[in-house]
Amino acid sequence: MAKLTLNDLRKLRDEKQKTMAKRDPSNKDAQVIVGMGTCGIAAGAKETFNAIIEELDAKGITHVLVRQTGCMGLCHSEPTVEVIVPNMPVVIYGNVDAETGRQIVHAHIIGKTLVDNHICDKPAMDIVR
Amino acid sequence: MIPVHATVCDTLADLVQNSIEAGALRIELDVYTGPDAIRVRVADNGKGMDRETLSKAKDPFYSENGKHNHRRVGLGLPLLYQTAEAVNGKADVQSTPGKGTTVVFEFDANHIDTPPLGDLPATLLGLMTFEGAFDLILKRETPKDGYRVSRGELADVLGNLTEPANLILARDFLRSQEQGLIY
């Protein structure tokens, strides 16, 4: 692949924005936060992150912000993903591989239902205290 | 093989996260890969450490209060020293309170236990999506080629680095830089 220049990137973005603007001008009201501490990285958080942004983009979802953060203290359950959607409880999911990441996009963000068997509820006590 | 981080990118992600958490506004990341050596430098203008804190940071059973107030382990630097020792490499940390910290390490590219570089574009993208106003400047070099990219210029071109569509564009941009490298 030839190296893209910043100008190429600017053009790609302008093209993308035209199609996005048609879809949905609404506010960014939801957030997906992927834990990327040492533990998250080791457990495959990069693949999870990638799967989530690809799925959100493929479904044309524009109201979700995606960020990364450090360790949430749930190293035994990495990769962890916190999902904040209005009118739903704030949930931290654990053991989120790429497939579960896509499931979170479908079930939680689009379907407004929680994804069973992956809910960790909240950060570890040594983090929140 | 003793347990070490799976890739060099895992190690440098730890180090850059340390810089972000130290309140750095400018983080320089230099990554060189050549036939004989892998060299990385992470230099930040964060809060820095005094000599005592720095010596503790090398201890796996130390973590700074404030980040995780009740936690008793911190593995970033200890894992780096462990890997360096395992692969005939070296690692060094220089820090000045109030001014910043610079971490450099070098691994023997041909040592059998030297971790592979890993996915640099994905690692960088991840680091760029941490919250905060910091700039992260990558200087990537091979013996014959190189490129430079910063969080600031990507955010400037794309508008933000939080929307999924922008993140994918940024990822593809970073991938194209890495895949277009001449060795």
Any B CB within 8 A of A67 CB: yes
Question: For chain B, what percent of residues have pLDDT higher than 70?
Answer: 89
| A33's tokens | 């936060």
| Inter-chain touch A16–B169, beta carbons under 8 Å | yes
How large is the angle between the packed helices A6-23 and B151-158, nearest 10 degrees?
A: 40
In a domain, A18, yes or no: no
Other residues' Cβ atoms within 10 Å of the Cβ of residue B132? 12
In a domain, A13, yes or no: no
Q: Which of B10, B158, B179 has its CB closest to that of A42?
A: B10
In a domain, A16, yes or no: no
What's the pLDDT band for B107 if we cut at 50, 70, 90? very high
Chain mean pLDDT for chain A = 88
Between CA A95 and CA A89 the distance in angstroms is 19
CATH number at residue A65: 3.40.30.10
Domain residue ranges of chain B, discontinuous segments joined by +: 8-179
Each residue of B160-169: pLDDT tens digit?
999 999 999 9
What's the pLDDT band for B3 if we cut at 50, 70, 90? very low
Containing domain of residue A58, as a range? Answer: 24-128
The residue behind tokens 């680091």 is B127
| Inter-chain touch B165–A20, beta carbons under 8 Å | yes
- E strand segments, A40-116: 64-69, 81-84, 91-93
Any B CB within 8 A of A73 CB: yes
Any B CB within 8 A of A76 CB: no
Question: For chain A, what percent of residues have pLDDT higher than 90?
Answer: 60
In a domain, A7, yes or no: no
> For the purposes of burial, counting CB atoms within 10 Å of the CB of B60, is it exposed (0-12), middle (13-18) or buried (19 or more)?
middle
Any B CB within 8 A of A74 CB: no
What's the pLDDT band for A19 if we cut at 50, 70, 90? confident
What's the pLDDT band for B136 if we cut at 50, 70, 90? very high
Q: Which of A38, A46, A126 has its CB closest to that of B69?
A: A126
In a domain, A78, yes or no: yes
CB-based contacts of A116: which residues, under 8 Å, 6+ apart? none
Between CA A97 and CA A45 the distance in angstroms is 8
How close B144 comes to chain A (CA, Å)?
15
- For range A31-50, the mean pLDDT: 89
Chain mean pLDDT for chain B = 89
Least confident piece of the model among A24-28, A119-123, B107-111, B166-170 = A24-28
Q: Is the peptide bond before B3 cis (omega within 30 degrees of 0)?
A: no
**Per the CATH hierarchy, to which homologous superfamily does domain B8-179 belong?**
Histidine kinase-like ATPase, C-terminal domain (3.30.565.10)
**8 Å CB contact between B83 and B107:** yes
Between CA B141 and CA A16 the distance in angstroms is 31
| Inter-chain touch A16–B165, beta carbons under 8 Å | yes
Task: Please give the residue of chain A at the shortest CA–CA distance from B149.
Answer: A6
**8 Å CB contact between B151 and A54:** no
Most B CBs within 10 A among A46, A47, A104, hence the mutation to make, goes to: A46
Tally of CA atoms within 13 A in the half-sphere of B158 that contains its CB: 24
- For range A110-118, the mean pLDDT: 94
**8 Å CB contact between B166 and B155:** no
Residues of A in contact with B126 (CB under 8 A): 34, 36, 45-46, 49, 68
Residue A68, strand partner residues: A34, B130
Give the C-alpha distances (Å, rounded to integers) separating B12 from A5, A87, B40.
Answer: 25, 38, 8
